[in-house]
Every structure is written in structure tokens, then in C-alpha cells.
Amino acid sequence: MTDDAQSTPLESLSTASPAFPPTVEFAAQANAHAELYSWAAADRLGFWGEQARELLTWDSPFSEVLDWSGAPVARWFADGTLNACYNAVDRHVEAGNGDRVALLFEGEPGDTRRITYAELQQEVSRAANVLLDLGVRTGDRVAIYLPMIPEAVIAMLACARIGAVHSVVFGGFSAEALRSRIDDASAVLVITADGGYRRGSASALKPAVDEALGATSDALGPVDPPSGTTTTVRKVLVVRRTGQDVAWSEGRDVWWHEALAAASDQHTPVAVEAEHPLFILYTSGTTGKPKGIFHTTGGYLTQTAFTHLNVFDLKAETDVYWCTADVGWVTGHSYVVYGPLLNGATQLVYEGTPDTPHKGRWWELVARYGVTILYTAPTAIRTCMKWGEDIPAGHDLSSLRVLGSVGEPINPEAWTWYRRVIGGDRTPVVDTWWQTETGAIMISPLPGVTAAKPGSAQTPLPGIAAEVVDEEGHPVPDGASGYLVLTEPWPAMLRGIWGDEQRFRDTYWSRFADIYFAGDGARKDDDGDIWLLGRVDDVMNISGHRLSTAEIESALVSHPMVAEAAVVGASDETTGQAVVAFVILRAEWLDRVAEPAEPGTDPQPDVATTLRAHVAKEIGPIAKPRTILVVTELPKTRSGKIMRRLLRDVAEHRTVGDVTTLADSSVMDLIASGLDRPTST
């Protein structure tokens, strides 16, 4: 581990744990059998070639599975052509399954929609024609900033249908964050909504788009872009979801419902080369600038379809699948949109939060829709544990047959609770490790094959090569820990960072020559099973969402109050990690906050409230520090690098570790003595 490894509670876990083998009945009906491992091990490329042919429909076949002339440039199925939307929608209709429900939508207020594959085909065709009318062409980038409603899925598929590249920005991100993503990808169109429902009320989205595009959005009314503002965006397509008032830019803004109503429902999907970009998705790295991870078509679709079918043991005719992720994250791309629809699944899409209007909402939905497969994040599971098991116990969860976990390490207590309370001591639980960059699940049990160990993602899937290595890149023996690497290219691997080839090479391919460095620590137990230990870089994982320490630090220092800031991810019982910020205030502010306000004068600014609001504005509410500690110094090495390890010790109330590499070792005493300054938790 590096000096600055982000630690997780899992580091202290014993790996000697009970295993839960699949029942004989489950194993007998499972899609995946143990032979998949031996087949893929004997002929990895032949295995993936067969999956690509079996699971997808190609407009023209590929002649070569992988062109790998050297890391990091991989071309999978390169001379084949296909269309992602045709594969996700049209071919199911052509196969006679047009009446099968694709999306069962439940809005937070309780409104519902059922969309069959035939209806989905009509909607995506209309939307594709609208995009073309609005001037979007194959290869153009389209930003999507929507709540979790069917139009989000339709918008993504409509882009794919015409060969445009979607860049979905999570609706919880701020106007600033949206603007930087639009600019980085030079998007020509934004698809948004008036708002979405969140925690019982309508929450606006369109004002953030107006602000991001450089227009004044303070007042409702006509939007006039200020002179001198440049944006590549020509049109904004607006879904009406909440009906709230919106500002409107004549000539730029177009109502989705009006445009779709006027559009033809006939559209022929555009066949693209397998390596044609399908989407860009921004994720946090170790610097302040998010990385535009981009994925291409053929390989990505092959691996999302394969993993969705086998890791969740999907039976398309009978299962009701539910992944609780938002389309703003990679899980929503691969396991709400592409994986399930490629496999012709019926799935639930839910707009809101688990506790609106009551804490049993999820379990009520499972019972009402007869959900059979549930895929969610450990944070959600731990939150439900906190709320108490009598809440799920009040609902009939007997339809569930497979449970999945993703996004962060799942502690064995949460794993066993999930299986016992939600899965009725009956269902397999699959802990799936992967990343925005990997595009699809990489390490996971197979539910009909693996004897599952609570807390371990266990083994690389068939066709995937992962290792745990030491500082020099040598595999560690069983029982030891090190860095997780991926030693062979895989179909859904990222093809780059949009517009930054050098950063792509530096971040992933240079730590260990020519093999992929994931940025995670891991341990192999005595059986060789893999346990993920959290990030080893300055990336944090808050509730399964990735945030960068550097990004939050630069948001903090952009406030006039702050001279310097250091952010760490401290262990948190529920959210895995929580953001803790140490800030040095500028001298003039320090005096102001140190003195109590004179009676009759303005109240003193509350540092924590002000800065938390500022971070929410710069990045989004998910990035708000849980705790802000005002300090007078930060611990730095002689070369000026902040020693976050020591700050984490403070944040986690531990004895501060080795301070000998500090330029000034008295700094930690100063920090400790100043901790009675204004703070917030």
C-alpha cells in the first residue's frame, strides 16, 4: 500500500469465513456452469468470440476477436459492425417478444408506466428522428442530464441508434460540474427535464442546464445567453416530468413531448463499427479534473450481456430484475440500460429514494412487482440494517432469488444480513467488483457455481485475468495483500480518457508496465479468493460513489474564505467513507470567525455551513464534507506533499501514526490542539 492508501474497515477482517454453496436446485437450473472457467482458460479469445456471436446480432460479422498490438490499445471485434439500440430493442420485437414488458416504471409520487419492447422501439425511433432533426449526427456527443425516468433510458438508446455518443451527467451534479463535462466533450445537445421527484418534492434540473450553458437562470422567464458566452450546445431537449415552471430559450429549447409526438416512429438503426464510441462517462480521478472514460460498442455490449446473463442468472421470460443504480453512474449504464435490455429482460425502474414516503418503499416495490433479482450497493444495505429488520419483514420478499452488491467493499455483517433478511436465507448473494473503466463486472461469484464467502468478490469471471501484486508487480502469495491489476485486455475495457491519451497511459498503464492498475488494494485469502480493500490512491468511495480528494480540495480553495484545504475519506459505518475536510482560513476570515459577533451586528459566518454549500454548488450535494475542521497548519512532507494518512488518523480519532517524514513534526500537535475551533459534523 502507498503511504496515502485510503483505508477501509475491511483491512481488519479475518478471511476465514463460512461459505454458502448454491443449492442443488439452483445449480441445476443455473445459466452458468463450472465449464465456462475451463473453456475460457483454455481459449480466452475463442470464448469471447463465441459470446459476441451468441449474445449479439451483428450487421456484418467480425473476422478477428482481438487486435492487441500492445498496451493500452485494444480493438475487439474491430471489423464487425452492429447497432447497440437494435440489439437492445428491435431484435426482441423481431423475435416475437414485442409484448414483453421492458420497463416497469414507478415514479417517486407513485405514478406508474409499463413499456413493452414494441413500445420502446417506437419511442427510441421517434427520439432518434428528433435527434436527427435537431442536427445531431453520428459521432456527435449528446449530454444527458435527467432524473431516473424512462426517458433517460430512451435518450441513451436513441443516441446509440444514430451512432451519437452519449455523456450522461448524474442529476445530482451541479451546474458547474455539468458545464465542465459539456465543454470537455464538446456536446452539441443537452437532454434534460424540468425536474424530477426527490424526497417527496419536485426538484428542478433545467436551471442548472441554463446556468451551465452560460445563461442567467435566477429568474423564471425567457433565458438570454449573455454575450461573449460560447458553448458547443445548439439545442436543449426538455422532458416534462414535474410540470414545474421553467425558464425558456426560444430557438434553443425544445419540449421532448412535442417533438416526439411530431416525429415518425420508423427509423433504421445505424450500423457502426465495433470500435465506434458508444458513450463517455466522467468519473473522479486523483486530480481536480474528472476523467471522461470512453467505451466503444462491440466489446462493451458483449461483456455487459454476458455478465448480466450469468452473474445474475437471468431468465428473461420469467425474471423481474431491479438494479437500484441511477443512470448517471456506470452501474446504471451497464446494468439498467445495456445488459438487461440486450438480454430481453423485464426490469423495474424506480425514480426516488428508498425512504420516501416511508422506509419500506423498496420492499413494497419488490413485493408489488414480484422482483426476482435485486442489485444494489452496500451503503443501501447498511442503511436498511440501521432502520431495522422489521421493516423488510413487513413485506413479502419471497419472489427474490438472486441478490447482488456493487460499488464498495461489503462487510461480512452486511452481506449475511442481506442474504438472511432480504434473501430469506435462501438466495445467493453476488459481490461484484468492477469500475467505470472496466465497463462490466470483472470479479464476482457465479451464483450457481461458487460457494460464496461473505465479504469477498472471490474470483475473476471466465475470460477475465486479475492478479494481486506487490510493489514490483509480482503476484503475492495466498494470504497476502497488494495491488489489484488486470493482466489481460477484456472486451468492455475503457478505450481511453476523452481527449487525454497521456493521462490514460499514465493513470492506468504505467504503474506496472503494460498491465492495468485498478487503483484498489486487495488481498488473496488462503484459498486464493480476492478480497477488495478499498482505494490506494486519492479517490474516495462515499456510498459507492466515487469522489476525488483533489476535486473537493479545489472546490474548497475556490471560496474566498479558504487559503488551503486537505480532504480525506474517513471510515464511516454506513457510507463506507465520509468526506472530512481540513481547511486553513485566510487571515482576515480567521479573525472574523474567531471573535463572537457583537450584539446587533450580522451573525458571524458559519464556516462549515458556508463551505458545505459552496462544495454543493461547485460539484454537487454528494460531495459535501461531512466534517469540516479549521486548522492552522497541514502536515506536509519536505517535498510539500500533504500527508493524508496522518489527517485520516485525526479524522478517525486514532493515535497519529509515524510523523518522521514531516517537514515540521510539530504540525500534528498544532492540529490536535486547534480541534476545538469551529467545526461541523
Residues that bind ligand PRX (CB under 6 A): 283, 330-331, 406-409, 431-436, 457, 518-520, 532, 535, 541, 546
CB of 412 to ligand PRX, least distance (A): 12
Question: Which residues have CB under 8 Å from 52's CB, separation 6+?
Answer: 58, 62, 65, 76, 77, 80, 298, 299, 302, 491
**Strand, helix or coil for residue 425:** coil
Closer Cβ to ligand PRX, 189 or 327, answer by number:
327
Nearer to ligand PRX among residue 172 and residue 519 (C-beta):
519
Smallest separation, CB 77 to ligand PRX (Å): 23
Pairing of strands 235-239, 253-255: parallel
- The Cβ of residue 219 has, within 10 Å, a number of other Cβ atoms equal to 9
Where helices occur in 353-408 by DSSP H, the ranges are: 361-369, 378-387, 390-393
- Could you tell me the smallest distance in angstroms from the CB atom of residue 8 to ligand PRX? 8
Pick 209 or 330: Cβ nearer ligand PRX = 330
Residue 524 or 614 with smaller CB distance to ligand PRX: 524
The smaller minimum CB distance to ligand PRX, of residues 341 and 377, is found at: 377
Q: How far is the CB of 285 from ligand PRX (least distance, A)?
A: 10
Give min distance, CB of 13 to ligand PRX, in A: 12
66 DSSP β-pair partners: 76
Taking the least distance from each CB to ligand PRX, the nearer of 510 and 666 is 510
For ligand PRX, give the closer residue by CB, 122 or 548: 548
Smallest separation, CB 443 to ligand PRX (Å): 8
In order, the DSSP letters of 601-639 are SPPPP-HHHHHHHHHHHHT-GGG--SEEEE-S---BBTT
Ramachandran angles phi, psi of 164, nearest 5°: -85, 160
Q: How far apart are CA 72 and CA 4, in angstroms?
A: 26
Give the residue with the Cβ less far from ligand PRX, 10 or 131. Answer: 10
Q: What 3-state class would DSSP assign to 270? A: coil
For the chain, the farthest-separated pair of C-alpha atoms sits apart, in whole angstroms, at 80
Rounded (5°) CA angle 582-585-587: 155
Residues in a beta bridge with 323: 375
**Cβ proximity of 607 and 593 under 8 Å:** yes
Amino acid type, 99? D
Nearer CB in complex with ligand PRX: 166/614: 166
Pick between residue 130 and residue 325 the one whose CB is nearest to ligand PRX: 325
Count of beta carbons in the 10 Å neighbourhood of residue 114: 12
Give residue for cell 474567531.
594
Q: Which is nearer to ligand PRX, 129 or 432 (CB)?
A: 432
Least Å distance, CB 376 to ligand PRX, is 11
Q: How far is the CB of 281 from ligand PRX (least distance, A)?
A: 9
Chain-centroid distance, C-alpha 325: 8
Q: Which has the closest alpha carbon to 462: 440, 429, 480, 485?
A: 440
User: What is the distance between the alpha carbons of residues 333 and 156, in angstroms, rounded to a whole number?
Assistant: 9
* Angle of helix 607-618 versus helix 549-557 axis, rounded to 10: 120
Q: Least CB distance from residue 334 to ligand PRX, whole Å? A: 8
Give the nearest distance from C-beta 219 to ligand PRX in angstroms.
36
What's the rounded Cα separation, in Å, for the pair 405 and 375?
6
- The span from the CA of 66 to the CA of 77, in Å, is 6
CB of 299 to ligand PRX, least distance (A): 17
Instruction: Record the cell numbers describing residue 314, joined without a space.
Output: 437471468
Cβ closest to ligand PRX, residue 330 vs residue 493: 330
Query: Whole-number minimum distance, CB 458 to ligand PRX, in Å?
Result: 10
**Angle, helix 44-55 to helix 35-42, in steps of 10 degrees:** 120
| Rounded alpha-carbon distances, angstroms, from residue 228 to 193, 211, 649 | 26, 14, 48
Sign for the pseudo-dihedral over CA of 612, 618, 622, 625? negative
Q: In what order do the strands lie in the sheet with 277-283?
A: 253-255, 235-239, 189-193, 141-145, 165-168, 277-283, 291-296, 496-497
Q: Cβ 532 to ligand PRX, closest distance in Å?
A: 3
If the CB atoms of residues 125 and 436 are measured against ligand PRX, the closer one turns out to be 436
